[in-house]
Each structure stands twice: as C-alpha cells, then as structure tokens.
Amino acid sequence: MAINIDWEHMTENSLDEELFCPICADPFEEPVCANQCGHTFCRRCIINTFRITSQCPACRHTLTIDDFHPVTTRPFLNQLNKILVKCKWCSQSNIQRGDFKDHIKTCTKIIISCPAANINCDWKGQPDQMQDHAEVCPLVKIQPTIVKLKTKVKQQSKQIHFLYTILKKISENHKEECEEVYTKNGIIYCDVCEKEFTIYEHDEWLHFCPEADICCNCVKKHFS
C-alpha cells in the first residue's frame, strides 16, 4: 500500500473515485500509467505488485515495470495536489497535499536523523534538538573525511577492476601458450600465498610468463 508516514487524508469521502488507486484504495501518490492499457496506479503500489506478477492488476494485460510512466496531465495532478491532509507529526490540518513538502521543512515535531546517519549514527530527534546533538556527535565531526575516503575507495575499486580486466586478458593469452606444460605438470604454486593448486581446482587463476601464477582464492581476495 502507498502509505505516507507523514500525513493522513482528511477529505477522502468527498473525492472523485477516479483519484483513487485500485491497488491501495487511497488517493494516488506519484501516479504512473501504462501506455498499453491506460490504467493508473501509485508508483510504489505497482512496483510492489510487479515483484510477484507481470500483469496489470486491473486488466491482466502482460506488462513490464518499464511500461509505466509518470502521469503528467496537469488538471489531474492539480486535483491530487489540492487534497487536504493532516500532518501526523504536529497535527496541523487543512494542508493542501501539494504544499506539504514546504510544511514538513518547518514542522517542529517531525523526527529527523543525524546528518551522520550514513556513517552509522543512530540518533533521532526533533529539529530543535539537532544543533545540540551535532555539537557533541563525534561522527558529525568526521563525516566529511569519511565521505571523501569512501569516494576515494570507490574510485580505487574501479581502477583495480579495470587493471584486473587487463591482467585477466593477458593471463588468458599466456594460459593458451603454456597449457600443455601445466597439464603435464599438474601442480602449480601460487606466488602470492605460496600454496599449490591444480588447473582443475581453480578456474579463475591468473598466469603470467615466465612462471608467475596467482590462485583463484588470491584473485578473489585482492581483486574482488
């Protein structure tokens, strides 16, 4: 269901039935429409539905989630934006749904997370408590550094993957040239962990002439 945790509708009984989602039976939120059959649903509702089926809930037409596109009809969206809602946090009522984003920015009762929640600070509180928390939260102080490090690690991971792709290609060429020797000898020694293995045990091992080998376990450890 397209349940909004921040508001509740106040005037559902007086709304046109065409404004209601057939799945959750609530007024549409982020409505999307299938061009093939013309049926409209809440975006979240249809995403959840298509996790278990590939048919339109209204007409059973076979579709994919990519067949649904945001509704852009302005009169229809205006009707949804004018629906009156009540804030679940501060209980202020008669807020037009289209104005709710502006309301929530200034709502003093809403529960918000620490700016460092993305690096595992579990604090939650009201906006007027945020400044006091931020002044004593050690994670807030180091967050900029952590974000930079994460970005750098991500970039380096891409570089490592790129290098591994090149090494793997070179290794495959060397394997073809040396396959007869390795098949004859059977046992190979990894130059990283110094353990022996056979070509039949490890599919993803790397080989470089002359006589340089990396076993599958070390490849996964250092390149995955």
At 1, the pLDDT band (50, 70, 90 cuts) reads very low
Give the separation between CA 49 and CA 57, rounded to whole angstroms. 8
For 7, 74, 168, 189, 200, the CA distances from 223, given in Å and listed in that order, are: 47, 51, 11, 19, 21
Q: What is the DSSP letter of 50?
A: T
CA-closest candidate to residue 205, choices 220, 194, 193: 220
Distance CA 133, CA 110 (A): 16
Q: What is the pLDDT of residue 221?
A: 79
What is the arithmetic mean of pLDDT over 35-40? 93
pLDDT at 43: 95
Residue-by-residue DSSP string for 145-203: HHHHHHHHHHHHHHHHHHHHHHHHHHHHHHHHHHHHHHHHH-EEE-TTT--EEETTT-S
Which of 48-52, 112-116, 150-154, 162-166 shows the lowest mean pLDDT across its residues?
Answer: 162-166
pLDDT tens sequence across 156-215: 888 888 887 877 777 777 666 666 556 656 677 787 888 877 766 666 677 666 667 788
Instruction: Flag whether pLDDT at 2 surpasses 60.
Output: no
pTM over 0.75: no
Spatial distance between the Cα atoms of 170 and 76, rounded to a whole number of angstroms: 59
pLDDT score recorded for residue 84: 94
What does the pLDDT read at residue 139? 93
C-alpha atoms less than 13 angstroms from C-alpha of 157 in its C-beta half-sphere: 8
Give the domain ranges of the chain: 7-109, 156-223
Spatial separation of the C-alpha atoms in residues 158 and 90, rounded to whole Å = 46
Q: Span 21-35, mean pLDDT?
A: 94
pLDDT at 93 (0 to 100): 94
108: enclosing H helix or E strand: none
Domain at 7-109: CATH architecture: 2-Layer Sandwich (3.30)
pLDDT of residue 209: 66
Residue 103 has pLDDT above 80, yes or no: yes
Report which of residues 36 and 165 the model is more confident about: 36
The β-bridge relationship of strands 84-87 and 7-9 is antiparallel
Residue 34 has pLDDT above 60, yes or no: yes
Q: What is the pLDDT of residues 38-94, one digit of tens each?
A: 999 999 999 999 999 999 999 999 999 999 999 999 999 999 999 999 999 999 999
- End-to-end CA, the chain: 39
